[in-house]
Structure 1
Amino acid sequence: MNWGIIGAARIAKSALVPAIREAGGTVHTVSARDPKKAAQFAQENHIPNSSSYEELLDHPDIEVVYVPLPNSEHLEWTVKALEAGKHVLCEKPLTLSADQARRMMDAQQKSGKLVLEAFSYRFHPQVQRMLDVLKEGKIGDIRLMRSVFTFPLDRPDDIRWDARLGGGAFYDVGSYCVDLMRLVTREVPQQVHVSALKTEGEVDITLGALLEFSSCQGQLLCSFEMPFQQSFEVFGTKGSLQLEAPFAIDNYESHLTVNGQAETFDKINVYAEMVRHFQQAIRGETELRFPIQDHSLQQMLILDRVLNATNHPRV
């Protein structure tokens, strides 16, 4: 399957180009606004073609595109790719609001193509195992979830410091915490309570939130100024479970602990697993997991409520 990459981003180089190849796909073309940057990226990553965004979308041999652009550009270029007859794997967060998610859903339905939000962690076996454990009732009825995802973002010119581009710790890493809680509950919280520390440019640098679901609470912490940490814990009426690395992205041996008993998972490239699944769904070999109408829209409804509570600049 021939892939095009819209945007010569770091994550494309470090994660998606190798994942596409490991999953049996071909990276046909990379595009960038700067032709020199696209050509350099293509040369360094052994990609045969470089082009503009528009030229990539017009190419008849490209079947699916990956969009790792700034968050503020996800809607525009995903919709353009759909209108050009391409399937789209788009980085998270898929959009910057529920209204944008609805517009993307409309474009996807009209095109008949598939869109997948690139939460690669979902494709780690530990996540499905955790969901199975919860469904089996091994820790009883869920009463509390806690998730943390922090790391120091020390590049002052990083686009994640720009509110106009959809920056902020919550969009970048807090969205993982929300997504996993929503996978567990299948709900949108009834109430949210939020505390955020923001830069002068109105970007949340550290954010804590309490999400009140119908029968349990979710507590999350995300930050661009704390040491690297990620965790997920669920407490129930009969016990508890912990994922020490819930959002592990690449070749990391991880552990799920249920009521004190640990289960180890082998190293796995979750990006390659995500790409492999998406290609299979495009070929009609399996149903697409996590379609945007069932997952991404609900995710954006929650992100809207949290960010509205911080008076975050909204689109």
Structure 2
Amino acid sequence: MGKIIKWAILGAGNFAREHMGPAIHAASGAQLVALGTSSVQKAEPFQAFAPNLRVHATYDDVLADEDVDVVYIPLPNHLHIEWASRALRAGKHVLVEKPVGMTAAQIDPLIALRDETGLMCTEAYMIAHHPQWHRVREMLESGAIGTLRHVDGIFTYNNPDLANVRFDAAKGGGGLPDIGVYTIGSTRLVTGQDPVAITHADIDYIDGVDITARVSARFEGFTAHWVTSMNTHLTQSMTFLGSDGRIRVSAPFNAGSYGEAQVELIQSDGSIRVERWPQEAQYVNQVEAFSASVRDGVPYAWSLEDARATQAVIDAVYEAGPPR
């Protein structure tokens, strides 16, 4: 396997503690060696599974740690560009949480800095590393449902805590930045296309933050409709309707915690096939893929250019919708 890639995390928030910290620890070829937090209490859960973890009181101290190869950045959205840039300048590879920027234009300087440094920097878009999405793309490319006509996507959850950072417009809050990246991004991921037009954008706002968005788009040869919401019962589904069949992904985004990863293919001859991935850990896959890219130059499934393209769609949705 070669060199072990050593990881650090900036911040000790819930998502890093519950998902990415354990994923880095569990990943083959990776080791979690450092954490940036000034809170002893927040560091303790990380040290429970990584007892040799070095805890730095500041993020700058993490970037100065010479034993760190990769910095993972799960900070609030408005801090992503700043700290990803700082980490690149410090000589670290960077995996930054989605969305990378609050607008597509904000991502351009980060792409330029990535190219200037020659370091790996991309968005933590974990679904790109789940085999169910590789399978959907294969099905579409092979013509399993004929010609793709329409994509229907939904991702909703109910968060009643208006003090949560997702409801803070100044910090990049909103349903589209948080979960629209999945409905829109997964459509782009498996079709390889960007929409040619946003034909409808019905958005509900609270204090400048989109709570619910109902979006229609036209692509070359097919249409799409996406619903995202932060005040609606937890629901996830992606459906691809073709001239000769249908593909349905039942747990498209939080496979495992939402439900078993399943792809159902129904074809016009009446045949039904369901493929399942009950044990796949997409966060671990993501860490292993990033580490392999850093160590061996293995091609990576999701680039900053992909993140920028998805953000450009979100920017267009906001522009097409009502004023905030």
Common fold by TM > 0.5? yes
CA distance in 2, matches of 1:309, 1:74: 26
CA distance in 1, matches of 2:311, 2:110: 12
Question: What does 1:43-192 correspond to in 2, within 5 Å?
Answer: 43-46=44-47, 47=50, 48-51=53-56, 52-192=58-198
CA distance in 2, matches of 1:184, 1:15: 25
**Contact 2:98 / 2:124 at 8 angstroms: preserved in 1?**
yes
Deviation at 1:139, TM superposition (A): 0.4
Question: What does 1:1-315 correspond to in 2, within 5 Å?
Answer: 1-24=5-28, 25-32=30-37, 35=38, 37=39, 39-46=40-47, 47=50, 48-51=53-56, 52-192=58-198, 193-199=200-206, 201-250=207-256, 252-259=259-266, 260-293=272-305, 295-310=306-321
Deviation at 1:249, TM superposition (A): 4.2
Aligned pair count reads 307
Helix, strand or coil: the match of 1:258?
strand
Whose strand proportion is higher, 1 or 2? 2
**Contact 2:202 / 2:322 at 8 angstroms: preserved in 1?**
no
Helix, strand or coil: the match of 1:73?
helix
The letter of the residue matching 1:246 is: P
**Contact 1:6 / 1:30 at 8 angstroms: preserved in 2?**
yes
**Contact 1:255 / 1:262 at 8 angstroms: preserved in 2?**
yes
The letter of the residue matching 1:158 is: N
Helix, strand or coil: the match of 2:61?
helix
CA distance in 2, matches of 1:18, 1:223: 28
Deviation at 1:134, TM superposition (A): 0.6
The letter of the residue matching 1:30 is: L
Identity %: 29
CA distance in 2, matches of 1:279, 1:113: 12
The letter of the residue matching 2:8 is: G
My pick for the range that moved more, 162-171 or 150-159, is 150-159
CA shift digits 1:160-190 (9 cap, x unpaired): 0001101011111111000011113322211
Deviation at 1:297, TM superposition (A): 2.0
Relative to structure 1, the CA distance from residue 68 to residue 312 in structure 2 (aligned partners, 3 Å threshold; closer, same or farther) is: farther
CA distance in 2, matches of 1:128, 1:89: 21
**Contact 1:58 / 1:84 at 8 angstroms: preserved in 2?**
yes
Helix, strand or coil: the match of 2:176?
helix
The letter of the residue matching 2:46 is: N
**Contact 1:120 / 1:249 at 8 angstroms: preserved in 2?**
no
What TM-score comes out, normalization by structure 1 length?
0.94
Contiguous gaps of at least 5 residues in structure 2: 267-271
CA shift digits 1:209-260 (9 cap, x unpaired): 0011111111000001110000000111111110011112446522111113
What TM-score comes out, normalization by structure 2 length?
0.91
CA distance in 1, matches of 2:300, 2:130: 16
The letter of the residue matching 2:189 is: L
